[in-house]
Amino acid sequence: MPTMLAKNADILVTMDGERRELRDAGLFIRDGVIEQVGPTAELPGSADRVLDLRGQIVLPGFVNCHHHLDQTLTRNIPAGQNTNLFPWLRAHYRLWAARTPASARTATIVGLAELALTGCTTAFDHAYVFQNGCRVDDQIAAAAEIGSRFVVSRGSMSLGESKGGLPPDDCVEDEDVILKDSQRAIEQYHDPNPGSMLQIALAPCSPFSVTADLMRESARLARQYGVGLHTHLCETLDEERFTLQTHGLRPVAYMETLDWVAPDVWYAHAVHVNDDELRLFAEKGAGVSHCPSSNMRLASGIAPVKKYLEAGVRTGLGVDGSASNDSSGLLAEARMALLLARLKIGLLPPEGPETVLSTSDPLRAGEWLTARAALEMATLGGAAVLRRTDIGSLEPGKCADFFTLDLNTVGYAGGLGDPVAATLFCAPQTARYTVINGRCVVEDGRIATVEMEPIIEEHNRHAADLLRDAVAV
């Protein structure tokens, strides 16, 4: 059983029950599991692999709760640069449907590489477009190549334009096919055990791209196997108008009729949620993936994150995209969460709080999201959203998932009075090491498990092909 000693870190953020931050500390790891956390002097003196982390901060691996790795093929396309969600989706659906298994591979590796370089060790991919011979198996194989801890959805779209949905008919699938393949993916791949490197979720895309029947049937199937359920919800006011017009209900009320407000469910975005709906999430145990960059990029709105945290709603972070971000940078996303929560308290009602008190008034001190709370959302929060107790903190018995940042950089210079908060207040830096399951996926700031240059080259070729073909059509 291989061992690893990570020692001499200037500071190590545990996110344990006491939220300890240890000085001159490290970890001892055996077979992908943390055996000891503590001051370097108290750790074993040697191991099969030794990382000297002098001058670095160690953080628990970040958990990404919402992403579409395929979209790294369609970042920043001109037709989608200056629109909100619905026209943005219309500009992209056919591009995503035209991808191939080969381009799905490079997209997955590129996205997971960027995630790993920005501290992410567990990523959820909301895959939902399966055309042109693509299967969820493509993403699964690529995630194993790079070595990320992976949760992936056999997601779906079934409500085409001719039936009142948003996606074109040639981008949606037959519901029988979806459910059959969902069951296959679960049976073939889902590992529910502690330390699992691969789990499956079911994720019908959104209220405007699947039928009520498919939502119900997906929930029935997921609950039969104990896998998670995920969808986009309350992302935009256009979505709210859609469910009001189609079902006579606000999105959350519509979800309730489908038995989709429950502890095994988490939603992406949850921006346009009122206080009653927010309490319902807390009461029923539904979780939220906050995606601040995407919400800003598409002018969707600002999610009430601070209220979620106060109400006890499981809340994690997602980079979303990455055609609506257009990045897979999770450290930057945590910083965006910090900044956007602050913007929200400075706005006037109805977006902001209903008070005329200055934002500096002591009575409003509790409204401020702190850097440590944002880091907690990126780690323990994400783990809770994915219903994982084996990740999110650095403690004996937990998965050996962590990343380090060099403190002696231009970016942090002058800000090291509080190095933990500097990781979010100062500009996001690239991870020096990212260790997943006891294995270095990032080493000295570079991906160590696959050779990235040829993959980036191939990926750019696939992306150019997609755009060229789209123009030709």
Instruction: Report in angstroms how near the CB of residue 421 gets to Zn ion at its nearest.
Output: 29
Q: Are 438 and 29 in contact (CB under 8 A)?
A: yes
Angle at 149 between CA 145 and CA 151, to 5 degrees: 105
Instruction: Report in angstroms how near the CB of residue 211 gets to Zn ion at its nearest.
Output: 19
Of residues 289 and 423, the one with the C-beta less far from Zn ion: 289
- Residues near Zn ion (CB under 5 A): 268, 320
Instruction: Report in angstroms how near the CB of residue 183 gets to Zn ion at its nearest.
Output: 24
**According to DSSP H, which parts of 312-451 are helical?**
330-346, 371-376, 382-385, 419-425
CA 252 to chain centre: 21
- Helix, strand, coil percentages in the chain from 3-state DSSP, rounded to 5: 40, 20, 40
Q: Amino acid identity, residue 146?
A: I
Q: What size, in residues, is the chain? A: 473
Of residues 322 and 423, the one with the C-beta less far from Zn ion: 322
Instruction: Report in angstroms how near the CB of residue 209 gets to Zn ion at its nearest.
Output: 11
Instruction: Report in angstroms how near the CB of residue 126 gets to Zn ion at its nearest.
Output: 6
State the Cα–Cα distance between residues 292 and 300, nearest whole angstrom. Answer: 9
Of residues 266 and 433, the one with the C-beta less far from Zn ion: 266
State the Cα–Cα distance between residues 465 and 73, nearest whole angstrom. Answer: 10
| Structure tokens, 394 | 């650095």
State the Cα–Cα distance between residues 58 and 433, nearest whole angstrom. Answer: 9
Instruction: Report in angstroms how near the CB of residue 291 gets to Zn ion at its nearest.
Output: 7
State the Cα–Cα distance between residues 254 and 247, nearest whole angstrom. Answer: 7
Of residues 127 and 280, the one with the C-beta less far from Zn ion: 127
H or E element: which one contains 7?
Answer: strand 3-13
Of residues 5 and 210, the one with the C-beta less far from Zn ion: 210
Instruction: Report in angstroms how near the CB of residue 255 gets to Zn ion at its nearest.
Output: 16
Residue nearest to Zn ion (CB): 320
Of residues 6 and 268, the one with the C-beta less far from Zn ion: 268
Per residue in 21-42, is it b (16+ CB within 10 Å) or e — as a string? bbeebbbbbbebbbbebbebee
State the Cα–Cα distance between residues 69 and 107, nearest whole angstrom. Answer: 6
Q: Are 168 and 160 in contact (CB under 8 A)?
A: yes
Of residues 142 and 268, the one with the C-beta less far from Zn ion: 268
Residue 428 forms beta bridges with which residues? Answer: none
Instruction: Report in angstroms how near the CB of residue 218 gets to Zn ion at its nearest.
Output: 17
- Residue 364 class from Cβ within 10 Å (0-12 exposed, 13-18 middle, 19+ buried)? middle
State the Cα–Cα distance between residues 199 and 242, nearest whole angstrom. Answer: 32
Of residues 268 and 394, the one with the C-beta less far from Zn ion: 268
Of residues 140 and 268, the one with the C-beta less far from Zn ion: 268
Instruction: Report in angstroms how near the CB of residue 332 gets to Zn ion at its nearest.
Output: 17
Instruction: Report in angstroms how near the CB of residue 324 gets to Zn ion at its nearest.
Output: 7
Q: Reduce the secondary structure of 191-225 to three states and give it as a string.
A: CCCCCCCEEEEEEECCCCCCCHHHHHHHHHHHHHH
Of residues 221 and 291, the one with the C-beta less far from Zn ion: 291
